[in-house]
Structure 1
Amino acid sequence: MATMTVFAFVLLYLCYFQNVTGVTEREVVDMLLTGYQKEGRPVQDPTQAVVTSLDVFLIQIVKLVPQRQVLIVNLWLLQRWKDDFLSWNPAEHGNISSIRLGINKIWRARLVHYNRQHEEGWSKTPDTNAIVRSNGEVLWAYPITIHSTCVLDIVNFPFDVQRCPLKFGSWTYDASSLKLLNVSVRGNMDEFIENGEWTLMSFDLEVNHVEYSCCPGVLWDDMTYTITIKRRSKFYVLYFVSPSVLMAFMAVCGFWLPPDSGERMFICINAFLSMIVLQQVANKHLPGTATTIPLINRFMGVGILLVFASSALTILTLSLLFKTFDLQPVPKWLRRIFCLGSPDPNIIRLAPEVSPKKVDANVLEVTELEDMDATFATDRAKATSQLVRRARKVLLQLKEEYDMMSRYEKIQKEWKIVAGKIDRCLLIAFFIALVVISGAIFGPSG
């Protein structure tokens, strides 16, 4: 008898449980959507605003395109609002407390990204389901990739920090119809994936109430998330800054070579061309319409000017060294500057090798002597005398040429010493200039 009583009790319990849980989600959906209008705001009181909250999860910084000044990011968006026409009593509907509905079947706030690049579509969003709870609360979460415009500040490139705003708001509902509410004080970064080029510094949020010129006296709510990122500069330091510095130092160190070395101009020209090529490659990582000159371009420009000045001064030094016409002794003021001491008294301005008047005088003198010898000497004595005079003349000419060459070599040696000292001074001056310029551009003040 007791067994029959227990069996009957279990049977009644199962029948009651089956009747309670016999309601399906499909029946709840049909009940809710019957006569539902998704175009009107979901409030019983038309004077009441729909309170909508928005949470933005920053998942990944895909890329920052400098030429187009566009930031590409992956986001998760979570919107919450209450729909007065999507509520039910769970006790009367099989204790079902939540259902999933297609977002295209119910009302939604249709928040848009104001500074979105529209080539991908103005309102294109994933077609995901929304979670509807029995009290009418709607939760709609979906992932999205956004191309957002971002005005770049490249003054400190490649050590720059960029701030890119993401502005969300309604395009048709003002604050009296749709009120935006922030759940947190900043954007969510819990699921963020690190980027190889940029370091995420902050993801701030600001809720604004703006009055636009189109609608005086009417406020519009928007939520502006600001992504602050800092460039990882190791790549640019390794492949752009370091080669530029080395090229500039190589051009400066060319002054270490002897003034008469033919490799100096080769080094200067190669450094000049290399700096130009590096500058062109670096420009590919910058916006095409930049209004400011970045650090790396400033340094490269100064480096090109230094290399150009080095080449020009090298040409000047070589012209002093290999001067072969109208060679004059080193001026006194240069001697004082470079401490060359008193000039050699034998060094005078070089005269022409042979003067026409002197040749004529020698010819006349020889002719007169020959006439005198013809009168007072015999033929044999005359021949001997002529031979001696010719030999003396040749020796005098050789001595003059030797003295001239000796003076020329002494003057040229002094000019070579001057050129070497000029090179040492230029080496020190250019080295100091390069260090000062590099510190001024890449230092803390830069």
Structure 2
Amino acid sequence: MFPTPTITFIFIFLVLVPSATQASEEEQRLYADLLNNYNNLERPVANASEPLIVKVRLFLQQIIDVDEKDQVVQVNAWIRYIWYDYKLQWNPADYGGISDVRFLGSLEQIWKPDILLYNSADENFDTTYKSNQIVYNSGEVMWIPPGILKFTCPMVITWFPFDDQICDLKFGSWTYNGHTLDLQIDSDNPLSPHQMDLSDYVTNGEWGLVATPAKREEKIFECCPEPYYYIVFSMHIRRRTLFYWFNLIIPSLLISVMTIFSFCFPPDAGEKMTLEITILLSVCFFLSMVGEMTPATSDAVPLIGIFFSTCMLVIAASVIFTVVILNLHFRAADTHIMAPLLRKVLLEWMPWMLMMARPGYRYHKGRCIVERPRVHPFKHIDAKIANQKAVITDAATDAQIIMLHRLNTELKEITNRMFEEEEKEAIENDWRFAAMVVDRACLILFSIFITACVVAFIACAPHIIA
């Protein structure tokens, strides 16, 4: 007496094994009948004058890499081809209810279109997997070869890193013309901006997918009068700019703003020139990083490259103006004399326009008014002594007069030297104040210019954050 589980197993085996054997025999017979007198070189149309319609659909899985330097894009995708083969039709009732069969893609048992990616950049050109073809009883053949597609894409770097790229995948028959093979786009909604199937799409961290339109084009080559149809699947991708904002743009903006603060240093500060040179080297470093990120092309200069070049020119100009300011600040009265025009511009017009204040001076309508003008103390005394007439006195009085005259001469010489020192100090103070005026003018001008550059940079960008 067998146990209950054993009896159940024997019953299932006796019931299913004959049916499985019968199904295998039916499928074997179906394959034999379908391949009987079948030629895989023959185009599967009943009327040779009619073109075979092949519908193409692209399933985008992932954008693997976008190489701006080599202008090559690599994606993971599936391509679905559907056509009808009039020789591969059968009645499922005659073959045990079998409604579909598979043919090995590697054996080339049935006909399939020689559709290739025209702008392939792979060394093997066709990198799709030789997958099986599914044949339905109606004669419909569906072939979905997956693959890693590597194709060329001309990059427009004018707006880098706020750029959009449109990359085309051109699929077409390599030998069949439009009279024998008619390629059509397989789409559920022709008006949709996404003609690629994105049901299994994996979002890329660097590029956002804006749209995936498709179009059918026709081209006539010089060698052949027949038209050739091909389908162009386009990928409209937009670069995500958050990385560039935090790693390039914002640091460069902060460094450029430091140029403005360098004019807040006193002209005699020794760190003024050191700060300017350090800022210039920092911007040169960022500019070299941008050069490594962008394609090596001479057709256009990227927007961020123009921005960094402008920053570098601004900082270089600030270094030049800093040298001019230091030169003005350290000029001495023994070596330099301020020209009248320069004095008018630097000591009268510009301080009044910049609303600057200077102790002992007042500015009104472009004129400098000295509140306490300096007068030589012996100027009026010498004039009075010269106008007095000599009076004859005794010998004692003459001695006193001679002594007073000598004392007057000594005091006059000491006073002249002090007055000359004050004059030299006043001239040097004029040069120092002129340096301060130029420093203030540079502070205002560079602030306006850098602000204008940032506003123009943001205004020119097609989008700020994607």
TM tier relative to shorter chain: 0.7 to 0.9
Counterpart for residue 111 of structure 1 = 115
CA deviations 1:375-414 (Å, max 9, x no partner) are: xxxxxxxxxx9xxx8x999887665544333222222122
CA deviations 1:277-322 (Å, max 9, x no partner) are: 1011012221111411111111111111110111101100110100
Q: Percent identity?
A: 30
Q: 1:63, CA displacement in angstroms?
A: 1.2
CA distance in 2, matches of 1:276, 1:122: 41
- Note the 1:60-99 alignment, pairs <5 A: 60-99=62-101
Aligned residue for 1:404, secondary structure, equals helix
Counterpart for residue 32 of structure 1 = 34
> 2:267·2:325 contact (CA, 8 Å) conserved in 1?
yes
- The AA in structure 1 aligned to 2:328 is L
- Note the 1:321-340 alignment, pairs <5 A: 321-324=329-332, 325-328=334-337, 331-337=343-349, 338-339=351-352
Counterpart for residue 439 of structure 1 = 455
CA deviations 1:29-51 (Å, max 9, x no partner) are: 23322442212212232222211
Verify: 1:138 aligned to 2:146, yes or no. no
CA distance in 2, matches of 1:181, 1:313: 66
- Note the 1:196-207 alignment, pairs <5 A: 196-207=205-216
> 2:218·2:229 contact (CA, 8 Å) conserved in 1?
yes
CA distance in 1, matches of 2:137, 2:31: 11
Counterpart for residue 318 of structure 1 = 326
CA distance in 1, matches of 2:62, 2:375: 79
Counterpart for residue 280 of structure 1 = 288
Counterpart for residue 241 of structure 1 = 249
Counterpart for residue 306 of structure 1 = 314
- The AA in structure 2 aligned to 1:335 is L
Q: Which runs of 5+ in 1 are unaligned?
A: 1-12, 349-384
> 1:276·1:304 contact (CA, 8 Å) conserved in 2?
yes
- Structure 1's 312 and 49: CA in aligned 2 closer, same or farther, altered over 3 A? same
Q: 1:342, CA displacement in angstroms?
A: 4.3
Deviates more, 1:422-431 or 1:225-234: 422-431
> 2:347·2:430 contact (CA, 8 Å) conserved in 1?
no
- Note the 1:41-56 alignment, pairs <5 A: 41-56=43-58
Q: 1:20, CA displacement in angstroms?
A: 6.8
CA distance in 2, matches of 1:197, 1:415: 55
Aligned residue for 1:259, secondary structure, equals coil
- The AA in structure 2 aligned to 1:191 is D
CA distance in 2, matches of 1:246, 1:189: 41
Counterpart for residue 187 of structure 1 = 196
Verify: 1:215 aligned to 2:218, yes or no. no
CA distance in 1, matches of 2:257, 2:19: 88
Aligned residue for 2:263, secondary structure, equals helix
> 1:80·1:138 contact (CA, 8 Å) conserved in 2?
yes
CA distance in 2, matches of 1:308, 1:57: 52
TM-score (norm 2): 0.78
Q: How many residues align?
A: 395
TM-score (norm 1): 0.81
CA distance in 1, matches of 2:455, 2:285: 23
Counterpart for residue 352 of structure 1 = none
Q: 1:152, CA displacement in angstroms?
A: 1.1
Q: 1:28, CA displacement in angstroms?
A: 2.2
- Note the 1:406-421 alignment, pairs <5 A: 406-421=422-437
Counterpart for residue 102 of structure 1 = 104
> 1:199·1:232 contact (CA, 8 Å) conserved in 2?
yes
- Structure 1's 418 and 113: CA in aligned 2 closer, same or farther, altered over 3 A? same
CA distance in 1, matches of 2:293, 2:336: 53
Question: Which among 267, 270, 276 is matched to residue 268 of structure 1?
Answer: 276
CA deviations 1:154-204 (Å, max 9, x no partner) are: 111111111111111101101110011222122211211101001100110
CA distance in 2, matches of 1:347, 1:91: 127
CA deviations 1:122-180 (Å, max 9, x no partner) are: 23321211111122211111211111111111111111111111111101101110011
CA distance in 1, matches of 2:31, 2:41: 18
Aligned residue for 1:36, secondary structure, equals coil
> 1:252·1:307 contact (CA, 8 Å) conserved in 2?
no
> 1:111·1:169 contact (CA, 8 Å) conserved in 2?
yes
- Structure 1's 240 and 178: CA in aligned 2 closer, same or farther, altered over 3 A? same
- Structure 1's 83 and 256: CA in aligned 2 closer, same or farther, altered over 3 A? same
Verify: 1:164 aligned to 2:164, yes or no. no
